[in-house]
């Protein structure tokens, strides 16, 4: 495998320049490994893989010869069995070939109860299932963030998700997890749509810089002040029909909004009135077009904006989602703004948008 990757990837394959159990020099960073293939696997010491294997084999052979001289010796047989078991366990540990180990940039690390070992290295990766990660975050999210300042954590969906559904990524991001893996097959599911929407920031590069309180070992809580975000919905333009169909009745749109983020004190959701038979240019007027959200941590909070077609059923049951947008609060600017929209399949709706006015009371959004 190592030879194939070297031959196919060539100079695009990143290689470590540091020894095992040593800090990475230069420090691992997205800029350093831009447009590079990075290998994540176990990286045992080369001497352990080569020398230990030979030593175990030689010692086991010698013990077998000694015990073979007296096969009736019960103690000898027990010792031989123990030696075989120890040798088998050692062989099981040696699961990475030296040629492959020499290509590993991100080395696997076992999770140990928010271990704050200061010898941890940034290129070490701890892999956790979604349930394990969620449990750690719920038990002590601050300690989890401190743990993730020292090393990387990758969270993957539960194997019980046989239908390729997804977990909600927000809880794991709040704990400082850098890599939250998702099942890409479920492209219409809300968790993956929300996930993709969050990464619109930074040009869909797949990399976002975490807030200071999630990176700096001397900062243990968000330093930003809570803000009140007031949103006034004004109008929309060229809304699609349900399921992007070209035929069908004229839609009856309404706007639905809420926040996703850490430390939210309430589960406020806002819905405008329904505009009857106007999907081309619906206009909202009156006192019920404005709502205010309290945002404790704007750097990690997203405003979710969704536009539905009302079917007239109580509670919105059966209403079709026409378009949506996921807006990182810290990127919002005050004033009249055009909000671009996406389909349920997360494709940009060219020519479709929502007009809204955003105002901040408290610390203003980033400029």
Write out pLDDT tens, residues 118-141: 567 888 899 999 999 999 999 999
User: What pLDDT, on a 0 to 100 scale, did the predictor assign at position 256?
Assistant: 97
| Residue of higher predicted confidence among 254 and 268 | 254
Q: Is the pLDDT of residue 50 over 50?
A: no
Query: Dihedral of CA 187/190/193/199: which sign?
Result: negative
Read off the pLDDT of each residue in 53-70 and give the average, rounded to a whole number: 48
Question: How far is 215 from 66, CA to CA, in rounded Å?
Answer: 58
Question: How far is 324 from 346, CA to CA, in rounded Å?
Answer: 9
User: What pLDDT, on a 0 to 100 scale, did the predictor assign at position 65?
Assistant: 47
Q: Which residue has the tokens 């449990």?
A: 135
Q: Report DSSP letters for 53-112, one per residue.
A: HHHHHHHHHHHHHHHHT-TT-HHHHHHHHHHHHHHHHHHHH--S-HHHHTTEEEEE----
**Confidence label for 349 from pLDDT (cuts 50, 70 and 90):** very high
Instruction: Return the biggest CA–CA distance within the chain.
Output: 99
User: What pLDDT, on a 0 to 100 scale, did the predictor assign at position 86?
Assistant: 58
User: What pLDDT, on a 0 to 100 scale, did the predictor assign at position 87?
Assistant: 55
**Which ranges in 94-215 belong to alpha helices (H)?**
98-101, 130-139, 141-147, 170-174, 190-198
User: What pLDDT, on a 0 to 100 scale, did the predictor assign at position 259?
Assistant: 97
Q: Nearest CA to 105 among 93, 121, 128?
A: 121
What is the CATH code for 227-362? Answer: 2.60.40.150
- Examine domains 109-214 and 227-362 and report if their fold is the same: no
Q: Are 354 and 307 in contact (CB under 8 A)?
A: yes
**Confidence label for 228 from pLDDT (cuts 50, 70 and 90):** very high
Which CATH fold would you assign to the domain 109-214? TIM Barrel (3.20.20)
Counts for the chain of helices (H) and strands (E), in that order: 9, 13
Question: How far is 306 from 339, CA to CA, in rounded Å?
Answer: 11
User: What pLDDT, on a 0 to 100 scale, did the predictor assign at position 121?
Assistant: 82
Read off the pLDDT of each residue in 165-177 and give the average, rounded to a whole number: 97
Residue ranges of the domains in the chain?
2-44+97-105, 46-93, 109-214, 227-362
User: What pLDDT, on a 0 to 100 scale, did the predictor assign at position 92?
Assistant: 53
Global pTM?
A: 0.82
User: What pLDDT, on a 0 to 100 scale, did the predictor assign at position 82?
Assistant: 61
What's phi and psi for 7, nearest 5 deg?
Answer: -70, -40
Q: Is the pLDDT of residue 366 over 80?
A: no
Read off the pLDDT of each residue in 281-304 and give the average, rounded to a whole number: 95
Read off the pLDDT of each residue in 291-297 and give the average, rounded to a whole number: 96
Q: Are 13 and 36 in contact (CB under 8 A)?
A: yes
Q: Is the pLDDT of residue 93 over 60?
A: no
Q: At what angle do helices 53-68 and 74-93 cross, to 10 degrees?
A: 170
Q: Is the pLDDT of residue 236 over 90?
A: yes
Read off the pLDDT of each residue in 195-210 and give the average, rounded to a whole number: 88
Looking at residue 21, the DSSP 8-state letter turns out to be T
**Confidence label for 74 from pLDDT (cuts 50, 70 and 90):** very low
Mean of the per-residue pLDDT values of the chain = 85
User: What pLDDT, on a 0 to 100 scale, did the predictor assign at position 340?
Assistant: 97
Q: Which residue has the tokens 């999770």?
A: 111
**Confidence label for 4 from pLDDT (cuts 50, 70 and 90):** very high
Q: Is the pLDDT of residue 317 over 90?
A: no
Burial class (CB in 10 A: 0-12, 13-18, 19+), 177: buried
């Amino acid at each position: 495998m190592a030879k194939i990757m070297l031959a196919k990837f060539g100079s695009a394959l990143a290689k470590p320049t540091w020894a095992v159990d040593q800090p990475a020099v230069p420090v691992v960073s997205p800029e350093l490994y831009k447009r590079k293939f990075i290998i994540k696997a176990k990286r045992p010491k080369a001497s352990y893989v080569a020398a230990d294997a030979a030593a175990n084999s030689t010692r086991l052979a010698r013990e077998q010869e000694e015990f073979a001289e007296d096969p009736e010796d019960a103690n000898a047989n027990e010792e031989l069995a123990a030696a075989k078991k120890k040798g088998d366990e050692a062989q099981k540990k040696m699961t990475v070939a030296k040629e492959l180990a020499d290509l590993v940039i991100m080395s696997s690390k076992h999770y140990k109860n928010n271990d704050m070992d200061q010898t941890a290295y940034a290129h070490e990766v701890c892999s956790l299932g979604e349930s394990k990660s969620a449990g750690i975050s719920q038990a002590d999210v601050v300690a989890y963030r401190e743990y993730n300042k020292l090393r990387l954590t990758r969270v993957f969906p539960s194997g019980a998700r046989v239908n390729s559904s997804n977990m909600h990524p927000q809880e794991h991001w709040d704990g400082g997890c850098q890599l939250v893996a998702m099942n890409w097959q479920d492209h219409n599911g809300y968790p993956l749509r929300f996930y993709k929407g969050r990464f619109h920031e930074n040009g869909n590069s797949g990399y976002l810089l975490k807030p200071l309180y999630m990176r700096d070992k001397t900062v243990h809580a968000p330093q930003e002040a809570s803000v009140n975000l007031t949103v006034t919905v004004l109008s929309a333009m060229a809304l699609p029909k349900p399921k992007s169909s070209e035929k069908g009745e004229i839609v009856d749109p309404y706007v639905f909004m809420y926040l996703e983020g850490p430390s939210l004190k309430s589960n406020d959701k806002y819905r405008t009135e329904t505009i009857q038979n106007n999907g081309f240019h619906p206009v909202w007027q009156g006192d019920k077009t404005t709502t205010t959200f309290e945002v404790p941590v704007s750097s990690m909070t997203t405003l979710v904006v969704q536009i539905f077609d009302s079917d007239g059923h109580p509670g919105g049951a059966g209403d079709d989602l026409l378009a949506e947008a996921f807006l990182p609060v810290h990127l919002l600017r005050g004033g009249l703004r055009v909000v671009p929209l996406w389909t349920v399949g997360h494709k940009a709706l060219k020519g479709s948008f929502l007009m809204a006015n955003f105002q901040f009371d408290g610390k203003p959004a980033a400029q």
